[in-house]
Amino acid sequence: MSASTHIASKCVTPGQASWLDTAFRIAAVGRLAWGALSLVTPRANTRLAGVDESATPELTYLIRVFGSRALALGWGYLLSDGSARRRWRRLGLLVDVCDTADGLAHVVRGDVRRGAAIGLTTATGAYAALGVVGVLADLRAAESEGSVDDR
């Protein structure tokens, strides 16, 4: 048994699979809601995130870019199944880890309002934590099935 599947066997039990699927669906709907809000009304999005009200056209553009990405991740997950869904989990994890690392760097440097940086980093960190649990569950399932295709 590899180290990652050993960790997975300790963290996620087979009975948790339905709970985990529900959690990922809720997270995907959350991505859709935040993404749609970002596209439709970027200023409302920045207010909710605790970002300064002085939105520039560049900030509005970047918020909409974020919104498109969030929509793609949400719809990609919800419209897929099986091994495609596992790939969407991993893509989401990659995005969320990058966003969380960047947020933590801003918290440490103090170059972004502390409340905004902590709030956004907490949100992306929660998504990243869910992604880690999902990957561990996928590894455990692959190990128990003897499959190497979805690792």
Report DSSP letters for 55-121, one per residue: --HHHHHHHHHHHHHHHHHHHHHHT--HHHHHHHHHHHHHHHHHHHHHHHHHHHHT-S-HHHHHHHH
Please state the domain count of the chain.
1
Q: What is the pLDDT of residue 15?
A: 53
Q: What distance lies between CA 14 and its chain's CA centroid? A: 22
Helix, strand, or coil here: 150?
coil
Would 151 be classed as within a structural domain?
A: no
Q: What is the pLDDT of residue 29?
A: 98
Would 76 be classed as within a structural domain?
A: yes
Q: For residue 138, what are the contacts with CB-CB under 8 A and spacing of at least 6? A: 86, 89, 150, 151
User: Which residue segment(s) compose the domain that 113 sits in?
Assistant: 16-145
Give percent above pLDDT 70 in the chain. 85
On average, the pLDDT of the chain sits at: 86
* pLDDT classification of 17: cutoffs 50, 70, 90: low
Q: What is the pLDDT of residue 16?
A: 56
Q: What is the pLDDT of residue 66?
A: 93
Would 107 be classed as within a structural domain?
A: yes
Cα→Cα distances 121→47, 98, 101, 126, 129, Å: 16, 10, 8, 8, 12
Would 150 be classed as within a structural domain?
A: no
Would 31 be classed as within a structural domain?
A: yes
Helix, strand, or coil here: 17?
helix
Q: How far apart are CA 11 and CA 62, in angstroms?
A: 37
Answer yes or no: are the C-beta atoms of 5 and 140 closer than 8 Å.
yes
H or E segment to which residue 13 belongs = none
Specify the range with the lowest mean pLDDT, choosing from 11-20, 42-51, 124-133.
11-20
Would 112 be classed as within a structural domain?
A: yes
Would 100 be classed as within a structural domain?
A: yes
Q: What is the pLDDT of residue 8?
A: 44
User: The pTM is what?
Assistant: 0.82
Look up tokens 């498109």; give the residue: 68
Answer yes or no: are the C-beta atoms of 145 and 83 closer than 8 Å.
no
pLDDT tens-digit map of 24-40: 999 999 999 999 999 99
Q: Is the pLDDT of residue 54 over 80?
A: no
Would 7 be classed as within a structural domain?
A: no
Q: What is the pLDDT of residue 13?
A: 52
What is the average per-residue pLDDT within 45-63? 83
